[in-house]
Amino acid sequence: MRNVTLEQIFVHPITQKYLKRSGIAHAIAVAEFAYIFAKRYDVNPDYAAKAALLHDIGHYTWYRNGEWDYELYKENDIHAIKGASRAHKLLIRIGEDRQTAKEIAVAILLHTDSYLPEGKLNLKPLQEVVALADEADEEAGGNHHYKSIDDQSALVRIRALDARIDQEFHAYEGQSSL
Ligand SMILES: [Fe+2]
Ligand SMILES: [Fe+2]
């Protein structure tokens, strides 16, 4: 049994508040990609989908004179750091296992290397899966953050993903290497 479902995370007011900034449609698409890639990498799909759903929860709104300022964002953004911490706090609050919450938070921390010094990171499979899933939904000019989805369709897709993960979760229970 999973401690926490994607639906519980998704409907939480904290998730709704912050994911609206970075785009709920993007978060769901990345969670679906992560589920697919998790199988390819033999990673627990529950961890991958949760990290992917929350990967952009750390975004701040970079507005100057009422418009998004991409330069300001690039210079000052720490959304992966902020997101890792915010996701970890949320997961613990709703009852996630501590070890799982840590693995998910670190995968969020490393989903982008845009704020890190030059050089290749040696990512663990779970971290790689989340980064690849994010890239898979990326559109030119950051357009993936502006795709829209209605609340009902969003919930239907989250529940469908939960159902698929529930069927397979037992196969990954107790898996220590991520
Ligand atoms: Fe991101
Ligand atoms: Fe993203």
176 CA to centre of ligand 1 in angstroms: 26
Q: Which residue has the tokens 């969670």?
A: 31
Measure the CA–CA gap between 11 and 94, rounded to whole angstroms: 11
134 CA to centre of ligand 2 in angstroms: 5
Q: Which residue has the tokens 């971290």?
A: 127
* Contact call for residues 108 and 130 (beta carbons, < 8 A): yes
For domain 6-172, give its CATH number from 3.40.50, 1.10.8, 1.10.3210, 1.10.287: 1.10.3210
Q: How would you write the pLDDT of the chain (178 residues) with one tens digit per residue?
A: 789 999 999 999 999 999 998 899 999 999 999 999 999 999 999 999 999 999 999 998 888 888 878 888 888 999 999 999 999 999 999 999 999 999 999 999 999 998 888 888 899 999 999 999 999 999 988 889 889 999 999 999 999 999 999 998 777 876 654 5
16 CA to centre of ligand 2 in angstroms: 16
Phi, psi (5° rounding) for residue 68? -60, 130
89 CA to centre of ligand 2 in angstroms: 20
Neighbours of 154 (CB within 10 A): 19
* Contact call for residues 9 and 87 (beta carbons, < 8 A): no
- Which of 50, 53, 75, 51 is CA-nearest to residue 62? 75
Residues 118-147: b if buried by 16+ CB within 10 A, e if exposed? eeeeebbbbbbbbbbbbeebeeeeeebbee
Measure the CA–CA gap between 35 and 133, rounded to whole angstroms: 9
- Which of 79, 90, 108 is CA-nearest to residue 4? 90
39 CA to centre of ligand 2 in angstroms: 20
Q: Is 48 exposed, middle or buried (0-12, 13-18, 19+ CB in 10 A)?
A: buried
- Ion ligand 2 contact residues with beta carbon within 5 A: 56, 134
Q: Which ligand is nearest to the CA of 28?
A: 2
41 CA to centre of ligand 2 in angstroms: 20
pTM, two decimals, is 0.93
